[in-house]
């Protein structure tokens, strides 16, 4: 079920809210857009996600609000430079990324679930996860090993 969550970086400079569905299969709302991206959370072994421990859930721009800290964001882009990864200038936490991919239905945010302050341990533990083998550019396949992600 979709629910409004509140998230922040470690020092609290960056704050946001997002209307997200972390529920397991059988309890989920209608996905925001077509495609698997809107049906699960994702963990990936690519060079970026692995090093930042990024655990993402996608949100449409309508479902994401930056509440504070726009001036505290610093951005990092790599590879095709199409994804805007943002970090807090003070504490270094990576609360979200954003991009605009046609295949995903346009502009979107990828929110780092572990930055949600009001998601319970139970919600995190029960959230559906799709694993992506980003290290081998096989985004539609799970890596051989996933337990360390």
Residue recorded with tokens 């991206």: 37
CB of 82 to Zn ion, least distance (A): 25
Alpha helix (H) residue ranges in 1-145: 47-52, 121-126
CB of 107 to Zn ion, least distance (A): 24
**Torsion sign over Cα 85, 88, 94, 98:** negative
115 part of the interface to Zn ion, by CB under 5 A: no
Interface with Zn ion (CB under 5 A), residue from 22, 32, 49, 88: 88
73 part of the interface to Zn ion, by CB under 5 A: no
Total of residues contacting Zn ion (CB under 5 A):
6
13 part of the interface to Zn ion, by CB under 5 A: yes
114 part of the interface to Zn ion, by CB under 5 A: no
Q: Which residues bind Zn ion (CB under 5 A)?
A: 9, 11, 13, 88, 90-91
């Amino acid at each position: 079920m979709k629910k409004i969550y509140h998230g922040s970086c470690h020092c609290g400079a960056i704050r946001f809210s997002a209307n997200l569905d972390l529920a397991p299969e059988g309890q989920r709302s209608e996905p925001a857009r077509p495609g698997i991206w809107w049906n699960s959370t994702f963990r990936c072994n690519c060079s970026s996600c692995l090093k930042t421990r990024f655990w993402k859930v996608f949100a449409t721009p309508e479902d994401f609000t930056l509440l504070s800290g726009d001036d505290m964001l610093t951005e990092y882009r790599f590879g095709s430079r199409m994804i805007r990864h943002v970090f807090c200038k003070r504490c270094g936490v990576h609360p979200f990324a954003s991009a605009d991919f046609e295949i995903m239905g346009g502009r979107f945010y990828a929110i780092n679930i572990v930055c949600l302050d009001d998601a319970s341990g139970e919600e995190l533990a029960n959230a559906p996860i799709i694993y992506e083998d980003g290290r081998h550019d096989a985004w539609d396949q799970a890596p051989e090993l996933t337990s360390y992600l």
